[in-house]
Amino acid sequence: MKSKKLIVFAAALLVFAALTASAETHKLRRIGVNTFAQTKGNIPTAEVMKTIAQTYAGDIKYGFDQVGMADLYLPFLEQLRTAQFTEKSIAIGDKFIWMLFRVRGQVKVWEDVEWDGKAPLDVFAFSVVKDDKEYQFIIPKPCGNIALYKVNEIRKVVPPAVCNLVVGPAKANLNEPITVDMTGTKNAASMDVEVFNAQGRPGRLALLHAREYQVADQVR
C-alpha cells in the first residue's frame, strides 16, 4: 500500500516539475547551433532571408500553428516579400514572445525566450501588420531562426470631418418641407441640423424622412 502511495506521489511530482519547467523563461545563450534554416555565409543578406522563408514556408506554417497564430501565417509570407529589413541589436536580458528553430530536422518552438548571451544579439528586424496590430519579427544573424519580438497596437488616425450641406429651397415657408442633402459630407459618424429665423432665434425642424425636414411652428 505504501509503495502505491509513493508511486502516485512521485508521479505527481514529475507532473508538477514538467508544468513548472514549461512555464519558465527559456534562456537563449548561443545562436547558430539549432538553426531553423541553413544559410550560406556568416551573415546572409535580407534578400537571402526572404528566399529562405519561402523555401521553408511549410515549416513556418507548422510553427505558427503551434503558437496559435495560424491566421498570421499568410500575411507573414505575403508581407515578407516586400518587407523593409532593418538591422538592430537585442540587449542582454531582452525577451521574445516565441522563436522557431530546428533540432535534428524537427521544427521546435520556444515561447517566452530571453537572450542571455555574452553580448548583444545582432538581428534583422521587420514588421507584419494585421487587424490593427503590428507584429515585430526578428531573424538573428547568422542563423535563420524566426522570432516574434513585440506586438503593438496601431492607433487609427481619424481624418477630420468635412461638412457639406445643400439646403433647398433657399427660402423656407412655414409647414412646407425642405431638403437637407448631406451626401457631400465626409468622415462624419452623425450630424445635427439646426434652424434659425431671420432674427437669429433658434427653432426646430420636424423630421419627415431621410434628409427631409419640415419647418416647425416655432420658426417665424
Is the same domain home to 46 and 137?
yes
Is the same domain home to 169 and 70?
no
Domain enclosing residue 49, as ranges: 24-153
Is the same domain home to 126 and 38?
yes
The beta strands (E) that lie in the chain are given as 26-28, 86-90, 95-103, 106-115, 121-130, 133-140, 146-153, 166-168, 177-181, 205-209, 212-215
Per-residue pLDDT at 152: 92
**How many domains, the chain?**
2
Examine residue 205 and state whether it is found in any structural domain, yes or no.
yes
Q: Is the peptide bond before 75 cis (omega within 30 degrees of 0)?
A: no
Block means of pLDDT (10 residues each) for the chain, 220 residues, are 46 36 73 70 64 83 93 92 88 93 87 92 92 91 85 77 75 70 73 65 52 42
Examine residue 12 and state whether it is found in any structural domain, yes or no.
no
DSSP 8-state class, residue 56? T
Per-residue pLDDT at 193: 66
Dmax (CA) for the chain in angstroms is 101
Q: In the listed set 153, 179, 211, which residue is the last one of a domain according to the structure?
A: 153
Examine residue 200 and state whether it is found in any structural domain, yes or no.
yes
What are the DSSP calls for 144-180, one per residue? --EEEEEEEEPPP-PPPPB---EEESSS--TT-EEEE
Examine residue 162 and state whether it is found in any structural domain, yes or no.
yes
Is the same domain home to 195 and 103?
no
Per-residue pLDDT at 51: 77
Is the same domain home to 93 and 165?
no
Per-residue pLDDT at 96: 92
Is the same domain home to 41 and 133?
yes
Q: In the listed set 100, 135, 153, which residue is the last one of a domain according to the structure?
A: 153
Is the same domain home to 149 and 219?
no
Is the same domain home to 46 and 125?
yes
Helices (H) then strands (E): counts for the chain: 4, 11
Instruction: Kindly report the pTM of this predicted structure.
Output: 0.59
Per-residue pLDDT at 136: 95
Q: Determine the Cα angle at 157 with ends 132 and 70, to 5°.
A: 5
Per-residue pLDDT at 14: 38
Per-residue pLDDT at 72: 94
DSSP 8-state class, residue 25? P
Examine residue 11 and state whether it is found in any structural domain, yes or no.
no
Is the same domain home to 114 and 33?
yes
Is the same domain home to 142 and 168?
no
Spatial CB neighbours of 140, under 8 Å, sequence gap ≥ 6: 31, 32, 90, 121, 122, 123, 147
